[in-house]
Structure 1
């Protein structure tokens, strides 16, 4: 384990025993990761999350009694601040799962055909409070939300010019709004720093303030928010 930092506490939620066993073996080879429990369905995932307070929940989508998407909603709702990050892990590369997972409050979406290194990196990213979205998935989010409203599954309205989202937007400084635009284009902190000629530490501070002022959990929600509220318009994502 690096330094004196406590290990990352992970809860596994999957109805297949062999999958859980494989995930445990991969994760527990790392000194900074500890598997604290295993759930066989979504209902148990919610219960064990409350009992063990993990940092990350690895959540399958299709499970008995309660599916992973509804379990994610319940976990996020019960732990609005300081709760675990939920990393959706599935074999299904489907847009309906992707959007439902993001709308449920998931912090990441990872396909089971990834490598062990991908999984370990994903757990660490989500544990430190960042969102994980593979580049190809980010492009799909942008494509859906940059198009007509009817093409974005479950896309809510902006609430009009006087809606709560627009009022929160008005609280952003000019620089914070520029950072939000870059987030919506899928830029990393390093890319934002280069484009806006800022230090990466300064960018990180701006990102945190943007998320706080807009009441968002992570960068993924910032992408969706920016398109929903007209901060970025169709065709501007590549600029």
Structure 2
């Protein structure tokens, strides 16, 4: 009789509930041997030579860049956020699997199975994010600079002075931004850009709100920014992970 060797998967996530859910989902399958790799400050190093390491977004990118000594190991990210720039940055760093927190338990299992077999895997939502980004017009470097300055609360004159261009050129770039982002005004353009990850996320901007509110803009860009900065960020649901994690933690207690 042939011997069955399970794939070794180490699971460590910044969110304890998510981590418990991941362990329960993957541990229910005999094809996986689920281990932990958490030190005093989170994930420290793989134990031995695991087939897959499951991490949160930040840790996944960090360790994907530092796994030269473990060429057989694949990094799988289970992310709390879903933006195209997050997926792109992870793939560029060497992450081979990317799953969003609101995916199904089957997606988690399929991702771990694919990575253990040496393949890549993106969950359906992450795949759609990447497909949408490919279908959308890309911003030029100058348009990105203008967008960043508008996001900081600069009006047209201040943007022109910062980039050493004319106010007319700034207005032309703003019109181009609105067209490429499919926005009707600066407020909407800033919100769309934040959702796509082209600028800081809305919640990241709240800390700077007091400084931004002191700036004034004759063309309304500061008002638009204040609306964008204070709009609440939509948090993803835990889906299958929430139920599994809660069940697992109750048993552990």
SS at match of 1:35: strand
Task: Measure how far apart 1:38 and its partner are.
Answer: 3.0
- In the other structure, the counterpart of 1:23 is 22
SS at match of 1:48: coil
Structure 1, residues 94-130: CA drift from partner, whole Å, max 9, x if none?
Answer: 1221111001111111011112222111111110011
Aligned to 2:73, which of 71, 78, 84?
84
Aligned partners of 2:134, 2:32: CA distance in 1, in Å?
A: 35
Aligned partners of 1:123, 1:117: CA distance in 2, in Å?
A: 10
SS at match of 1:74: coil
Task: Measure how far apart 1:73 and its partner are.
Answer: 1.5
Aligned to 1:48, which of 45, 50, 57?
45
SS at match of 2:118: coil
- Determine if contact 1:13/1:58 at 8 Å carries over to the other structure: yes
Task: Measure how far apart 1:135 and its partner are.
Answer: 4.3
- Determine if contact 1:11/1:36 at 8 Å carries over to the other structure: yes
SS at match of 1:78: coil
Aligned partners of 1:98, 1:19: CA distance in 2, in Å?
A: 19
| Over 6 Å off, 4+ runs | 146-149
Task: Measure how far apart 1:60 and its partner are.
Answer: 0.5
C-alpha change, 1:149 and 1:115, in structure 2 (3 Å) is closer
C-alpha change, 1:32 and 1:3, in structure 2 (3 Å) is farther
Show the 5 A alignment for 1:3-152: 4-39=3-38, 45=43, 47-49=44-46, 51-62=47-58, 67-75=59-67, 77-79=68-70, 81=71, 83-145=72-134, 150=139
C-alpha change, 1:151 and 1:141, in structure 2 (3 Å) is farther
Aligned partners of 1:94, 1:31: CA distance in 2, in Å?
A: 33
- Determine if contact 2:99/2:126 at 8 Å carries over to the other structure: no
TM-score for the superposition, normalised by structure 2: 0.48
* Greater RCO structure (CA 8 Å; 6+ sep): 2
Aligned partners of 1:99, 1:119: CA distance in 2, in Å?
A: 19
Aligned partners of 1:57, 1:148: CA distance in 2, in Å?
A: 35
Structure 1, residues 33-90: CA drift from partner, whole Å, max 9, x if none?
Answer: 111223268x753x431x321101111024xxxx432222212x333x3x21111101
Larger radius of gyration: 2
Structure 1, residues 163-222: CA drift from partner, whole Å, max 9, x if none?
Answer: xxxxxxxxxxxxxxxxxxxxxxxxxxxxxxxxxxxxxxxxxxxxxxxxxxxxxxxxxxxx
Aligned partners of 2:132, 2:108: CA distance in 1, in Å?
A: 26
C-alpha change, 1:28 and 1:3, in structure 2 (3 Å) is farther
Cα RMSD for the two superposed structures:
2.9
